[in-house]
Structure 1
């Protein structure tokens, strides 16, 4: 019974946030040269609306007029969440307001300028935007510090970043991208649902029109290793090609194809067409998922001085994140494989729920609709 509860909790945990869209990020670009600070901060309008309430008429759409009327409030809210320190607190101000579009919607663009008390010494950045309201929020940083490029990610548990003038650790760079790779597979709900749709039948065999539990754990493990290895190789290929700028595909096409891959994987569980070679499905659609991972990496930014190392760190992080999901799911699924709870509730019910969710994603992404609230 404990195994059932744990597995059901895991499926619910992974399915509930699947109704969401891209996790909340902001993009902070700073150049600190001597005592001078210049930069740009892109913050999603939906996040600003969540914190401040921009949609004054309540019609579900945020207009430029509504944003412009709250410029002073936006400035005060944003600047209260960011501190730049070099020899003391640097005085920051917003010099201009723009609007830009990212892959997940419209963003307010705040042009920043400021002065620090000193023109030398180390730099400290403290970022706390939205952390009290959204634990999934991340601040993606691209910094040029006295001519040396850096990158970083702010999170609730990592709200302050330190930079030493003229110094940069490649090992730290690798570790940072490793952690972000793990994090982004765990919040990449479409990638997780695709992987789970392929893993659900790994502990079953389809015989005489019925699903039965596999005889031995090694049979399920072999199937999982084939699927995960094929998916890993495929998305590693396209992730690397896209991150290095060798191949580019339109974001809308990639996101629609990822949703379609989840639809087909779930549908194959309900009416098996591809049996015994699910690794081929994992490889074919893994090529598409690699472009999805690359879009995340593009937003993070790859430092040119540690390009290969950072790319490797992110890729390894993605694999660790996948293996963690497999390590939790597979033993539980194997233990329940012969029960009606697993075959009907988890396998068939989970596949049907995944199919419905993925169909909604596909319609939204292919036709630029909004069927589920962000």
Structure 2
């Protein structure tokens, strides 16, 4: 019955998504190798109602600091965390403000750490009795923001339990946390990132376009360039050559991702993103005017080094640093490779089927030219931190 109620609650209570909701406060827990951190988030109206303060709706960090001792005392009196290890007193470590879009105003973030965590317990028994005395309709959501072993990274949307005036004690299950779950979550993150990374996909597309055709020698004029391609005869050699090219890309970005994640090398993000955009142009230009004949793997490897620094920014944004880093890097890189291979498996048969048509040979050049134009626009935008509206280019 309890499981049924939890499932129903996921549908009946609004999901956080990327924003907060009115009439709610939030309790986050982040579980690391040797500690558990927490975070209480609430609006000004909640604090004013229970503390008798006059915190403005859109308050600043300085405004919050003025009433911080009262907030700390109130949380200590109304938030209790226990486990099989005993009670876990709260030590406050920091505070911040979170500006939400729309009419909700600013949320406070009161950050704390649980004491008496000698090992990570299997369950937390959490009693949350904040704000209910002033608002019977108030609800608080309990969330795991981070738990590597449970496969939870940077979670802001999926809640584990709901606190209400009649249900102020809930359990947070940490027993399902395993190294395998964490590794699988990293693989999924790598796959998902390559699928949503349009610049990485375009780079792969630029490399894949000529994989099913061979270039005729000594083509210099525009007419000759447009007719320089002839379709390959066999599927398998062309497919495995493209897999080799993609694998060199993975090897390269694995090297720099590891160096950046471990703090050995750090490059300016603006420069890195600009070079990633420029890599598409060079790969596409190679399709029109050969730079490395039958050595596309050199392009993949060379620019893959910079793509790795870009991937490192993704892990940093997710708060992944230090903990289980070897498995994190291996899982993420493996996921990127799997994501790339799935893309190839999806598109390569189509390319092979079309390879001997005149449309395809012309399409290689036309598509490459389009990729060059697009990547140069991206390079300019990223390097100079500007936005070029598409209608300004297309006239639409």
Q: Could you say which TM-score interval applies, normalised by the shorter chain?
A: 0.5 to 0.7
Pick from 176, 192, 195: which aligns with 1:183? 192
Measure, in 2, the Cα distance between the counterparts of 1:149 and 1:172: 5
Report the number of matched residues: 273
Query: Partner residue of 1:370?
Result: 387
Measure, in 2, the Cα distance between the counterparts of 1:192 and 1:257: 15
Residues 182-261 of structure 1: matches in 2 within 5 Å?
Answer: 182-208=191-217, 209=219, 210-261=228-279
Does the C-alpha gap of structure 1 residues 97 and 343 become closer, same or farther in structure 2, counting only changes over 3 Å?
same
Higher relative contact order (CA 8 A, sep 6+): 1
The structural deviation recorded for 1:251 is: 0.4
Measure, in 1, the Cα distance between the counterparts of 2:205 and 2:270: 23
TM-score normalised by L of structure 2? 0.59
Measure, in 2, the Cα distance between the counterparts of 1:327 and 1:242: 30
TM-score normalised by L of structure 1? 0.62
Measure, in 1, the Cα distance between the counterparts of 2:245 and 2:341: 12
Contact 1:257 1:288 in 2 (8 A): yes
Does the C-alpha gap of structure 1 residues 206 and 36 become closer, same or farther in structure 2, counting only changes over 3 Å?
closer
Measure, in 2, the Cα distance between the counterparts of 1:30 and 1:247: 32
Does the C-alpha gap of structure 1 residues 322 and 155 become closer, same or farther in structure 2, counting only changes over 3 Å?
farther
Measure, in 1, the Cα distance between the counterparts of 2:41 and 2:151: 15
RMSD: 4.1
Query: Which SS does the other structure have where 2:388 is aligned?
Result: coil
Measure, in 2, the Cα distance between the counterparts of 1:291 and 1:29: 33
Q: Does 1:111 align with 2:108?
A: yes
Contact 2:150 2:182 in 1 (8 A): no
Pick from 350, 358, 364: which aligns with 1:332? 350
Contact 1:302 1:311 in 2 (8 A): no
Does the C-alpha gap of structure 1 residues 204 and 29 become closer, same or farther in structure 2, counting only changes over 3 Å?
farther
Contact 1:235 1:290 in 2 (8 A): yes
Please list the CA deviations of residues 263-304 of structure 1 after superposition, one character each: whole Å capped at 9, or x if unmatched.
Answer: 111111122222211111111111111111111111122264
Q: Does 1:319 align with 2:320?
A: no
Measure, in 1, the Cα distance between the counterparts of 2:377 and 2:106: 30
- Tell me, which stretches of 5 or more residues in structure 2 are unaligned? 1-16, 20-25, 43-55, 60-78, 83-94, 100-104, 113-122, 127-142, 162-171, 220-227, 391-396
Contact 1:263 1:359 in 2 (8 A): yes
Query: Partner residue of 2:376?
Result: 359
Q: Does 1:285 align with 2:286?
A: no
Query: Partner residue of 2:124?
Result: 121
